[in-house]
């Protein structure tokens, strides 16, 4: 799967942007502040979720002095094993987010703003799972250097992006779980103890939580076969991904239906405590993950920043190999300033590994010389505030 064309309207710093891509490895160099990360964010938003910055739709539009944030649009044309496809997304009122030639696919008539829409081949997307079935992206950014020092939510989002690429239906299970949980939290906060209503929401929470965690567990098991062997990660360290999750542990000991029953009972028994705490103590939203540096026998949180970066690179390399074999195409890899944080030997190892992968890769960096080893291999661009120039 390759992104062959990207078009943006009022997206972050870009009033208008359009670029075609022919390379499997795309290297974008330019000084800070010219919009390199904005381009990666736009690509990440063509799949499910809030993209690599986790921004709300109303925060993404271009800001003009004296005006509200403008509605925005992003469009991508892809080539994949099943032929060409197009994905557009943006807020209502952002104008055309289709391919610009057929007239299909507008983001709306401008009557309402701030609500994000998706189009797949010019038609409204049914759900996030449909998007995940068409396009997926995994990314590493400088902000992820603290992934193992901060809260579990960032690690869980990283894990779920990996799962979406293997199991597009995972997006639907997570969304359904969170919707049911929000309804239950609201009832408990309002002091409404309608037993039947709460039981229905807890039943939905239990079913979708077990399905979501089972998908996370399946991905981690398959990924660990590659991570522990090190065959897909080259010079990067062998690793193991561990799920820190009571539901995952229970699934290792009992059938899924029994785990659902147990979770349903636990939720019913904890209504009072959850009402006081303001949220559910159990569910798919409590999953955490850790990585272990196998050669050193250390958890990622105890490794140096460089070693943590190397572990994450191992994960994305192994994941791309796994998904390429399982689905016939690998997710897009968006690597923001990753090479600059690796020593020369690891940088060369990264480039060699990327050249072997069945994945399209977008790399950014401030110094074009850092991409010199990719000359003749990568499609190179110079980033400017107005767009991209051939590198």
Q: With beta carbons less than 8 A apart as the criterion, state whether 329 and 1 touch.
A: yes
Angle (nearest 5°) at CA 245 between 264 and 302:
160
141 is in an annotated binding site: no
Q: Is 120 annotated as a binding residue?
A: no
338 is in an annotated binding site: no
Give residues with Cβ within 8 angstroms of 362, minimum separation 6: 26, 28, 39, 40, 43, 332, 333, 334, 335
Annotated binding residue 32:
yes
Tokens 């239990």 belong to residue: 206
E-strand spans in 83-172? 83-91, 116-120, 123-124, 137-140
Nearest one of 206, 134, 215, 219 to 176, comparing CA atoms: 206
Instruction: Please check if 242 is assigned to a binding site.
Output: no
| Residue 295 labeled ligand binder | no
Determine if residue 33 is labeled as part of a ligand binding site: yes
Contact 60, 11 (CB under 8 A): yes
Instruction: For residue 130, give the nearest of 57, 48, 250, 224 by alpha carbon.
Output: 48
Q: Is 114 annotated as a binding residue?
A: no
Greatest extent of the chain over all pairs of C-alpha atoms, in Å: 66
Distance, in Å, from the CA atom of 273 to the CA atom of 171, rounded to the nearest integer, reads 29
Torsion angle of C-alpha atoms 137, 138, 142, 144, degrees rounded to 10: 130
- Please report, in range form, the residues annotated as the binding site for ATP: 30-37
- Please report, in range form, the residues annotated as the binding site: 30-37
């Amino acid at each position: 799967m390759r992104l062959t064309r990207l078009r943006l309207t009022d997206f972050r710093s870009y009033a208008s942007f359009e670029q075609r891509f022919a390379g499997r490895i795309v290297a974008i160099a330019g000084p800070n502040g010219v919009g390199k990360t904005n381009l990666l964010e736009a690509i990440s938003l063509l799949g499910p979720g809030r993209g690599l910055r986790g921004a709300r739709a109303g925060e993404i539009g271009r800001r003009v002095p004296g005006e509200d944030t403008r509605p925005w649009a992003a469009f991508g044309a892809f080539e994949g094993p099943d032929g060409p496809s197009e994905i557009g997304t943006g807020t209502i009122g952002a104008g055309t987010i289709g391919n610009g030639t057929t007239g299909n696919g507008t983001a709306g008539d401008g009557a309402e703003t701030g609500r994000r829409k998706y189009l797949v081949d010019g038609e409204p997307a049914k759900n996030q799972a449909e998007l995940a079935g068409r396009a997926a992206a995994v990314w590493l950014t400088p902000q992820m250097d603290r992934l193992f020092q901060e809260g579990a939510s960032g690690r869980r989002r990283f894990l779920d992006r990996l799962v979406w690429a293997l199991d597009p239906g995972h997006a639907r299970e997570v969304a359904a779980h969170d919707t049911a949980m929000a309804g239950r939290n609201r009832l408990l906060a309002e002091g409404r103890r309608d037993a039947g209503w709460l039981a229905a929401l807890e039943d939905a929470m239990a079913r979708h939580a077990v399905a979501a965690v089972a998908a996370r567990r399946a991905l981690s098991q398959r990924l660990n076969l590659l991570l522990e062997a090190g065959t897909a990660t080259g010079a990067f360290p062998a690793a193991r991904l561990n799920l820190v999750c009571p539901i995952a542990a229970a699934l290792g000991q009992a059938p899924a239906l029994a785990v659902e029953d147990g979770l349903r009972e636990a939720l019913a028994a904890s209504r009072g405590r959850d009402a006081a705490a303001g949220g559910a103590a159990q569910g798919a939203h409590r999953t955490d993950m850790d990585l272990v540096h196998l050669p050193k026998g250390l958890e990622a949180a105890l490794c140096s920043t460089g070693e943590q970066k190397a572990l994450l690179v191992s994960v994305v390399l192994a994941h791309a190999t796994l998904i390429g074999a399982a689905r016939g195409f690998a997710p897009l890899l968006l690597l923001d300033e990753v090479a600059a944080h690796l020593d020369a030997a690891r940088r060369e190892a990264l480039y060699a590994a990327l050249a072997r992968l069945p994945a399209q890769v977008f790399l950014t960096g401030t110094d074009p010389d850092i991409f010199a080893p990719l000359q003749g291999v990568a499609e190179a661009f110079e980033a400017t505030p107005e767009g991209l120039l051939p590198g």
